[in-house]
Every structure is written in structure tokens, then in C-alpha cells.
Amino acid sequence: MASRLASRAVSYLKIQVTHRGFASVVKDLKYANSHEWVKVDGNSATVGITDHAQDHLGDVVYVELPEVGVAVKQGEGFGAVESVKATSDVYSPVSGKVVEVNEELNSSPGLVNSSPYEKGWIIKVDINDSGELKNLMDSDKYTKFCEEEDAH
């Protein structure tokens, strides 16, 4: 997946974050309003949290992964991410069955910070309802959503 992203001319949209710099948003991914991204390939989906989310969390020290085989539902929590003494729920943007979890995050939870869209992926899901994808945002909408949320 990483090489596919690298070989295409991926355009990164920038969301203005006050004080700091910009959080990146990747085109062709879909986004939930709880700041998870999903990359869909047929019935297969890869899920992680966005650059905007990892930036707000700070250094991730622990990722709570679900077990392979569990069911996930769009909008429902499937795991958690811990940083700076705060553990936050992570929500699934799709419904289906978890077929793989990123075990590397057990020893290197910081991958969520350094590579939120690639090495820091969290789970892979076999989707059972691709119709639900229309409930998600595309990169433009997500960028706007983040800007509005940051202005709050």
C-alpha cells in the first residue's frame, strides 16, 4: 500500500492548525467525523487515525487493538489510543469483520504519530456494507470539517 501511495502523485491537502503548521489529509481516503480514515479496496478496508488526530493527541504510548475476527460497526468504538495520560476511543468508519491488526503498534505505538496514513494503520476490515461509505467524508469535506472544529 505504501508504494502505491508513493508512486501516485498524491496531493496532500493542508488544514490550517493555529500555532503550528499543517496537518495533512490524503485524497482518495474516506474520513469519519471522529478523525479516522479508511482506505477501501473492493471489500477490503484499512483503518487508522488521521494526521489531525495524532497531532492533537500528542505522542502515542499505547494502542489498544481489537482481536482478529471481532465484528466492528460503523461509528462504534473498536479500540483506543493512549497518549499523555489520556486514553481516547477510536471508532470504526466501516462495518464488517476485523481480519488483521497492526501488531507492530504493540512495540512501536509511535508509528501512529510518524506515519498515520501508512505504517501507523490500525486494523484491516472485510466490509459487509459498502453502502455505509456514503456516510463518510471525502478529503475536501474532511479538511473543511477540521478547520471548523479547530475554530470552535
Partner 1 sequence: MTHCVVASIPAHPICSHQPRPPRSLYRIIPSESDRISVVKSLQSSSATTHESRRECECECFNLYKELVPYRQAWSWQKKIVKQKKALIERDEDCPDSLFVLQHPPVYTMGTGSSEKFLNFDLKDAPFDVHRTERGGEVTYHGPGQIVMYPIMNLRNHQMDLHWYLRSLEEVIIRALSKTFSIKASRLEGLTGVWHGNQKLAAIGIRVSRWIAYHGLAVNVTTDLTPFRWIVPCGLQNYQVGSIRGLLGEFESVADSRRKQLPDPDDGQLLDIACKSLINEFSEVFQVRINYETISRLEFLEREPLSPLKEEAM
Q: Of residues 3, 7, 18, 107, which one binds partner 1 by CB under 8 A? A: 18
Residue by residue, DSSP assigns 24-74 as: EEETT-EE-TTSEEEEEETTEEEEEE-HHHHHHH-SEEEEEPPPTT-EE-T
d(CA 105, CA 63): 6
Q: Of residues 49, 57, 98, 101, which one binds partner 1 by CB under 8 A? A: 57
Q: Of residues 24, 88, 92, 102, which one binds partner 1 by CB under 8 A? A: 88
Give yes or no for residue 70 binding partner 1 (CB under 8 A): no
Give yes or no for residue 152 binding partner 1 (CB under 8 A): yes
Which window, 11-19, 37-45, 92-100, 136-144, contacts partner 1 (CB under 8 A)? 11-19
